Amino acid sequence: MILPIHDLLRARLATLLRERYDLAPSDQPALAIGYPPTRALGDLALPVAFELARRLRKAPKVIAQELSGALTQVEGVARLESTPNGYLNVFLDRGAFLRSRLDPAAPAARPAADTGKTIVEHTAINPNKAAHIGHLRNSALGDTLVRVLRFRGVPVEVQNYIDDTGVQVADVVVGFEALEHTSTITAGTSTPASPSGTRRTRPGSRSDSTRCTRSNMAATRPRRWPRLWRTPSSGGISRRCTGSASNTTF
C-alpha cells in the first residue's frame, strides 16, 4: 500500500532535517503529507517548507528546492519537485510500485502494532426505494476495501445498516391507509372529503371559495397527510395547486 511510502518519506525527511538544518526530532514540525489537486502536480505533496520558513528564516520556495535536491534515491519514488509556491511534490514510480505489490513472493505490508479495529459500513440500501446500479458499486467497493484491510492484517468489522425504521416507513403506512379507497376523479364530481371533513372542489364547482395556500392546505389535513390528489386534466398525481380563489384543483 501507499502508507509504507508515507512512513519512508517521513523517516528520510526527519534524517535530512537533523543533518542539514541541525533540528532535533523534538524541534521538527509535524511532517504532514497531502495530495495535489491534479495528477500533473504529482502523487503526494509535502508542505514542510512552510512549517520551516519562520524557524530557518528562509522563503518556502528556497527550502523546498534544498530538500528536493537532497532527497534522492527514495524507494518507490521516481522524482521530487519543488513548486514556485513552496510545496514539495512527490512523483511515485508507479511501475515499480505495482510490480512489487503483484509479486507473490513479496510479503504483505503490515499495519502498525497499535492499529485498532476498523469498521467498514457499505451497501445500506434503503428498503423503501428501488435498488439501482449505485448500490452494486458501493457493495463492490466496500467488499474490496474490507478484503484489502484483512490482507494487511487489520481487524475489520463489516456493517450493513438496514434502514427499516423511521419516519419514511410511517409515511408509507399513512399513504396506503389514505389512498386505499381513493378512486379516480371524474369530470363533474368533487374530490373525496379529507379526514378533517373539508371537501375540496374542482374547477367549475361552486361549493368552496377557500384560496389554495400552504397554510390553508395544512389547516384542512391532519399531520403528515399525503398531498396526493388526482387531477382530471392530467390524470396523474399532483402536489401543486392551480386555479382561482373559488376554483381549486389538487
Domain boundaries, the chain: 3-95, 112-159, 165-250
Whether the full predicted model's pTM is greater than 0.85, yes or no, is no
Please report where in the chains the cell 509479486 appears, as a residue.
103
Looking at the chain, the whole-number percentage of residues with pLDDT higher than 90 is 31
Greater confidence, 107 or 65?
65
**Which helix (H) or strand (E) covers residue 92, if one does?**
strand 88-92
pLDDT for the residue numbered 1: 57
CATH domain 3-95 topology: Gyrase A; domain 2 (3.30.1360)
Instruction: Please check the confidence at residue 118 and state whether its pLDDT lies above 80.
Output: yes
- Distances in whole angstroms, Cα of residue 37 to Cα of each of 4, 7, 40, 213: 22, 22, 9, 48
Instruction: Please check the confidence at residue 230 and state whether its pLDDT lies above 50.
Output: no
Instruction: Please check the confidence at residue 161 and state whether its pLDDT lies above 50.
Output: yes
Query: How far out from the chain centre does Cα 177 lie?
Result: 36
- Strand 77-82, strand 118-121: pairing: unpaired
Looking at the chain, the whole-number percentage of residues with pLDDT higher than 70 is 66
pLDDT for the residue numbered 108: 63
